[in-house]
Amino acid sequence: MTLILLVIALAGLLVVLRREAGAAPAIGVLAVTGVLAWLFASGLLALVLLIGAAITAVAGLPGLRRSWLTPRVFALFKKVAPKVSETEKVALEAGTVGWDGELFTGRPDWYRLLNQRHTGLSEEEQAFVDNQCTHAVSLCNAWNTAVERADLPEPLWDYLKKEKFFGMIIPKEYGGLGFSAKAQTAVLQRLATNEMLMVTVGVPNSLGPGELLVKYGTDEQKDYYLPRLADGREIPCFGLTGPRAGSDATSLPDTGIVCKQEVDGKEVLGLRLNFEKRWITLAPVATVVGLAFRMFDPDGLLGDTKDYGITCALIPRDTDGMEIGRRHCPIGTPFMNGPIRGKDVFIPLDYIIGGQDMAGQGWRMLVECLSVGRCITLPSGAAGAAAFAVGTAGGFTRVRRQFNTPVAEMEGVQEALARIAGKTYIAQSAVNHTANMIDNGQKPAVPSAILKYHLTEFQRGIMADAMDVHGGKTVTLGPRNYLGIGYSGAAVSITVEGANIMTRSLMIFGQGAIRCHPCVLDELAAKDNDDINAFDTAFFRHAGLIFGNAARAFTQALGVGHADVPFDHASRRYAQAVARFSAAFGLCADAAMTTLGGELKMRELISARLGDMLSNLYLASMVLKQWHETQSVAGEKELMQYSLTLLLHRTENALDEFLQNLPNRPVAAALRALTLPLGRRWKAPGDGLTHALAKAISTDTPLRKKLLASIWTGEAEDAEENPVARYNRLLAGYDKAEQLYRKANKAYAKGELPATALHPEERFEAALAAGVFTEDEAGFMRTYEQEVLEMLTVDDFAFDAFARDRDTLIDHNPA
């Protein structure tokens, strides 16, 4: 009876804790089982249970704890709580909390995610993607734009302006397109097969003058600039980073000093700017420069404030004292990017974006815009590049034959193809559904960092895998090489808009720990306001969350009490695993904040692993939403399973590494017992899924078509060649071709064809002559093999083609 009552007491407590029901139910469980133990079992057990009930009452019931416990905890909290700087406060207050906050709770409400369905694009938006975007990308060849021109063709520049590509985010009342976030990501995915084109269109529609003017500009600024930005009369750039301010943009040393200067015979109150900016996209061709600088008023011309802080202004290109026009050479694709310098540049105060009232508000403006823009531009480009890799790598490996078999049948190649397919599916799910959140009014600050880091890292990995399976085809540059330049340029996406190393180790969890946590922000606010009652509510709600996550993580890891999730049989176990790891993540996050306190800011590897857990759970949720909402095609179930298995494996790996490295080893041991009581369970995707995905993207299947739906797969008479379209044609005829390859090879092996018929073309002609092939079969294979050979061919050049200074050429073979 003693053992039975102990089990009942523990089970009851676990139920109460899992539900975060509060102190009263826990007291009830302990008291009732304690009385029963006193009556029917062990007096010792009864004493333990009743003491537990008393302690829970004293520490848990508000009326009792506020008289003795809360003041002590509050005093300690004031001493150990990390200080949040004003800069950090602005960043924390930027954006909103959505699904990322649900993952912090340990019991995510899936209905909150699924209620915001992705409804697709409007007819106008879809037509723009299908027509204008397709035409724009059809005018590009990577070699031509990156090497021969180092620019887009002039007709393409004119077309982009005419069709208002630079005005996607500008409202229609100002002459822009007024597109949704979903449409912007669809446009950029379609354009991403040419990096220069994607960047040229993406940047003006992301962080820059257009978005800043829409949100903060004065009426006069909006009326003048927005129509001109929308139709391309003005090309914008934004100067933020410089020699001493990269990822730490708040440290910029560029200054604007309030002063008076005579202009056209009148004394004008304005700013004297001195600045040096680097890595500014579109600067060489920009007609108007958005500039971030530190504003000072040492003479008090505006009032008592001396240091206004970061401020943003718009400066016309021809302003005296500004040097602009030189170029940097970004690795891979030399899109328009360069330095801007200014010495004693005078501008009127009304050049400040938003006017004088917005002086010093630049950092808030930037982080609020970045929380949205960073969700779209680079992640969309990564998703589009990934789809292009699916199309080319899948096609090439099927038509490239070695050892008398397509290389797509080799398991080493299949492993790379499966990674390409899985990461592409994850990337597409993440960008599309996060954009949908934006259209539903959210400003996803933490998800923007998640997408920027992980999707650009996916892009780098996908491009490396695609290069590997192509072999010599794509390590030889030239007009026929459709991957090499994009592969080289992937490093740019890794670096810009917050370097990936910094984003992972400082931003994802560093920002999320306070911004997304259900209680921490309220606790810090109570501390700042010296509000003990508010602190009591927040802190003990936090305590309940910790115990609740411990109970949920432990029981769900044992397979008891799985979360109730609204998904079908194929995906339910993955959603339940996300819920389980959400509880484990929440518990570990609280443990790290409690044991490390303010030191956690400096323990970047700990923060990075917690960020990895949060990120992979977020990405897995987006895949589940994609599976739930869209009509699946043959093979997509395996793709969903591969993607979610990969993400959950990565989540568990991050959890394991966190537990290995948490400095407080007793706490780490307790956490391991609670979160991984049966050890690691999620392995990497198995070989069966790998084989299935590799075949699906290297043959003409509905799944391949679905993954390629976001990019250009067609052809046009006056367009550049589209390798994806050519591979699609080859795959459409592959089954027939494969039968004829085998037929000819079998005849050759039997000695029915001449031994000298080594080239495929010779073998086909010999097969026709020997009656092995019909005339129709031989004709089909002539055409098919000619197209295959064209796709396998690489470029060659004149000996002196690459020498910029031909006077330095050496004649290695003199007559």
Residues annotated as catalytic are: 497
Q: Which residue in 143, 145, 332, 146 sits closest to 795, CA to CA?
A: 143
Question: In which element (H, E) is residue 68 found?
Answer: helix 62-80
Q: Are strands 288-296 and 236-239 parallel, antiparallel or unpaired?
A: parallel
| Residue 754: how many other CB atoms lie within 10 Å | 14
Dihedral in degrees, nearest 10, Cα atoms 283, 286, 292, 293: 80
Q: How far is CA 363 from the centre of its chain?
A: 22
Helix 636-661, helix 665-675: angle, nearest 10: 150
CA distance 418 to 755: 38
Q: Are strands 255-263 and 288-296 parallel, antiparallel or unpaired?
A: parallel
Cβ atoms of residues 210 and 170 within 8 Å: yes
- How far, in Å, are 257, 349, 765 from residue 302 at the CA level? 11, 11, 88
Q: Which residue in 13, 713, 46 sits closest to 388, CA to CA?
A: 713
Under DSSP, is residue 347 helix (H, G, I), strand (E, B) or coil? strand
C-alpha distance across the termini of the chain, in Å: 105
List 311's β-bridge partners, or say none.
293
Question: In which element (H, E) is residue 134 found?
Answer: helix 134-138
Burial of 814 (0-12, 13-18, 19+ CB in 10 A): exposed
Q: In 471-531, which ranges are continuous DSSP H helix?
A: 472-475, 484-495, 500-502, 508-515, 520-529
Question: In which element (H, E) is residue 226 found?
Answer: helix 219-230
Dihedral in degrees, nearest 10, Cα atoms 632, 633, 634, 640: -40
